[in-house]
Amino acid sequence: MLKPRDENELAAAVAGAKSPLRVQGGGTRPIGAPVSGDPLSVTAISGIELYEPGALTIVAKAGTPLAEIEAALAAENQRLPFEPMDHRKLLGTSGEPTIGGVVAGNVSGPRRIQAGACRDSLIGVRFVDGHGTVIKNGGRVMKNVTGYDLVKLMAGSFGTLGVLSEVSFKVLPATATTAVVLINGLDVEQAIAAMSRALCSPYEVTGVAHAVSGVEGHPVTMIRIEGFEESTTYRAAKLQTLLAEFGDSDVETDPDRTRNGWAWVRDAAKFAGTDGDIWRISVKPSDGAAVASALSGADLLFDWGGGLIWAEVAAGTDIRPMLAEVAGHATLVRASDETRTAIAPFHPEPAPLARMTHGLRKKFDPRGILNPGLMG
Amino acid sequence: MEMPTPDPGILAKKDRIVQRLQSVLPADAVIHEETETRAYECDALTAYKCPPLCAVLPANTEEVSAVLKVCHEEGVPVVPRGSGTSLAGGALPTADCVILGVARLNDVLEADYDNRVIRVQTGRTNLSVTGAVEHEDFFYAPDPSSQLACAIAGNIAMNSGGAHCLKYGVTTNNLLGVTMVLMDGTVIEVGGAHLDAPGLDLLGVICGSEGQLGVVTEATLRILRKPEGARPVLMGFNDSEVAGACVADIIKAGVLPVAIEYMDRLCIETTDKFAKAGYPDCEALLIVEVEGSEAEIDEQLGVIMQIARKHDPVELRQSTSPEESAKIWLGRKSAFGAIGQINDYMCLDGTIPVSSLPYVLKRIGEMSKEYGLQVGNVFHAGDGNMHPLILFDANKPGDLELCEAFGAEILKLCVEVGGCLTGEHGVGIEKRDLMGEQFAPEDMEAQMRVKDVFDPAWLLNPAKVFPLDVSATRRSEPPRAA
| Per-residue pLDDT tens listing for chain B (482 residues) | 899 999 999 999 999 999 999 999 999 999 999 999 999 999 999 989 999 999 999 999 999 999 999 999 999 999 999 999 999 999 999 999 999 999 999 999 999 999 999 999 999 999 999 999 999 999 999 999 889 999 999 999 999 998 888 899 999 999 999 999 999 999 999 999 999 989 999 999 999 999 999 999 999 999 999 999 999 999 999 998 899 889 988 988 888 899 999 999 999 999 988 888 889 999 999 999 999 988 889 989 999 999 999 999 999 999 999 999 999 988 888 888 888 888 899 999 999 998 888 899 999 999 999 999 999 998 888 889 999 999 999 999 999 999 999 999 999 999 999 999 999 999 999 999 999 999 999 999 999 999 999 999 999 999 999 999 999 999 976 544 43
Nearest chain B residue to A363, by CA: B449
- Residue A355 in any domain: the answer is no
* pLDDT at A270 exceeding the cut of 60: yes
Strand order in the sheet with A220-227: A249-252, A177-184, A220-227, A205-211, A299-303, A308-313, A277-283, A328-334
Chain A interface includes B79 (CB < 8 A): no
Note which residues in 18-77 of chain A have CB less than 8 A from chain B: 52-57, 76-77
Q: Which residues contact B3 (CB under 8 A, 6 or more apart)?
A: B48, B50, B92, B94, B429, B463, B468
B367 and B406 Cβ atoms separated by less than 8 Å:
yes
Domain closes at, from B335, B356, B382:
B335
- Residue B417 in any domain: the answer is yes
Span A352-362, average pLDDT? 97
Per-residue pLDDT at B133: 98
DSSP conformational letter for A254: -
A46 shares its domain with A159: yes
Here the CATH number for the domain that contains residue B274 is: 3.30.70.2190
HSE at residue B393, side-chain half, CA atoms within 13 A, is: 5
Q: Which residues contact B398 (CB under 8 A, 6 or more apart)?
A: none
A99 shares its domain with A167: yes
Total domains, chain A: 3
Burial tier of B229 (Cβ tally within 10 Å: 0-12, 13-18, 19+): middle
HSE at residue B119, side-chain half, CA atoms within 13 A, is: 14
B200 and A157 Cβ atoms separated by less than 8 Å:
yes
* B98-101 and B78-81 strand pairing: parallel
Total domains, chain B: 4
- Residue A230 in any domain: the answer is yes
CB distance B353–A359 less than 8 Å?
no
A65 shares its domain with A163: yes
Measured between beta carbons, the chain B residues lying within 8 angstroms of A52 are 353-355
Calculate ∠ Cα A362-A367-A372, nearest 5°: 80
Q: Which residue, among B268, B412, B351, B366, has the nearest Cα to B404 in the 3D structure?
A: B412
Most A-contacting residue of B61, B68, B87, B115 (CB-CB within 10 A), to test interface: B115
Nearest chain B residue to A326, by CA: B194
Most B-contacting residue of A59, A108, A146, A320 (CB-CB within 10 A), to test interface: A146
A152 and B171 Cβ atoms separated by less than 8 Å:
no
Per-residue pLDDT at B252: 82
Chain B interface includes A189 (CB < 8 A): no
CB atoms near residue B28 (< 10 Å): 8
Per-residue pLDDT at B481: 43
- Residue A348 in any domain: the answer is no
Task: Give the closest-approach CA distance of A5 to chain B in angstroms.
Answer: 22
DSSP conformational letter for A205: E
How far is C-alpha B295 from the geometric centre of its chain's CA atoms? 35
Here the CATH number for the domain that contains residue B12 is: 3.30.43.10
Of A57, A327, A352, the CB nearest to B192: A327
Whole-number Å distance between alpha carbons of A158 and A331: 13
CB distance B450–A119 less than 8 Å?
no
The sign of the CA dihedral A2, A3, A8, A11 is positive
Measured between beta carbons, the chain B residues lying within 8 angstroms of A146 are 420-422, 427, 431, 435, 438-439
How far is C-alpha B386 from the geometric centre of its chain's CA atoms? 13
A90 shares its domain with A105: yes
A245 shares its domain with A279: no
Task: Classify A57 as helix, strand or coil.
Answer: strand
Measured between beta carbons, the chain A residues lying within 8 angstroms of B190 are 353
How distant, in Å, are the alpha carbons of A282, A324, A329, A330, B216 from that of A321?
Answer: 15, 5, 11, 11, 30
- Residue A17 in any domain: the answer is yes
Q: Which residue, among B209, B212, B137, has the nearest Cα to B175 in the 3D structure?
A: B209
Q: DSSP secondary structure string, B260-315?
A: EEEEEHHHHHHHHHHH-----SSSEEEEEEEESSHHHHHHHHHHHHHHHHTT--SE
Whole-number Å distance between alpha carbons of A209 and A212: 10
Kindly report the average pLDDT of chain A as a whole number: 97
Q: Which residue, among A202, A254, A256, has the nearest Cα to A231 in the 3D structure?
A: A202
B114 shares its domain with B218: yes
Task: Classify A269 as helix, strand or coil.
Answer: helix
A260 shares its domain with A214: yes
Per-residue pLDDT at A358: 97
pTM, to two decimals:
0.96
A279 shares its domain with A319: yes
Structural domain including B279 reads 230-335
- Residue A282 in any domain: the answer is yes
Whole-number Å distance between alpha carbons of B476 and B198: 34
Using one digit for the tens of pLDDT, what is the confidence trace for A120-155? 999 999 999 999 999 999 999 999 999 999 999 999
Domain closes at, from A245, A266, A287:
A266
Q: Which residues of B51-83 are buried (b: 16+ CB within 10 A; e: fewer)?
A: bbbbbbbbbebebbbbbbbbbbebbbbbbbbbb
B219 pairs with which residues across the strands? B120, B178
Q: DSSP secondary structure string, B66-99?
A: HHHHHHHHHT--EEEESSS--SS-TT---TT-EE
A262 shares its domain with A299: no
Whole-number Å distance between alpha carbons of A325 and B480: 55
- Residue A203 in any domain: the answer is yes
A126 shares its domain with A77: yes
Of A55, A139, A285, the CB nearest to B354: A55
A154 shares its domain with A12: yes
* DSSP E strand boundaries for B148-283: 175-181, 187-191, 215-222, 224-225, 230-237, 259-264
Model confidence at A91, in pLDDT bands (50, 70, 90)? very high
* B98-101 and B54-56 strand pairing: parallel
How distant, in Å, are the alpha carbons of A209, A228, A260, B256 from that of B114?
Answer: 16, 28, 29, 27
* B375-380 and A162-170 strand pairing: unpaired
Chain A interface includes B94 (CB < 8 A): no
Chain A interface includes B452 (CB < 8 A): yes
A161 shares its domain with A193: no
Structural domain including A143 reads 7-173
Whole-number Å distance between alpha carbons of A57 and A169: 6
Whole-number Å distance between alpha carbons of A228 and B295: 11
Task: Classify A295 as helix, strand or coil.
Answer: coil
Whole-number Å distance between alpha carbons of A159 and A372: 9
Q: Which residues contact B339 (CB under 8 A, 6 or more apart)?
A: B267, B270, B271, B345, B376, B389, B391
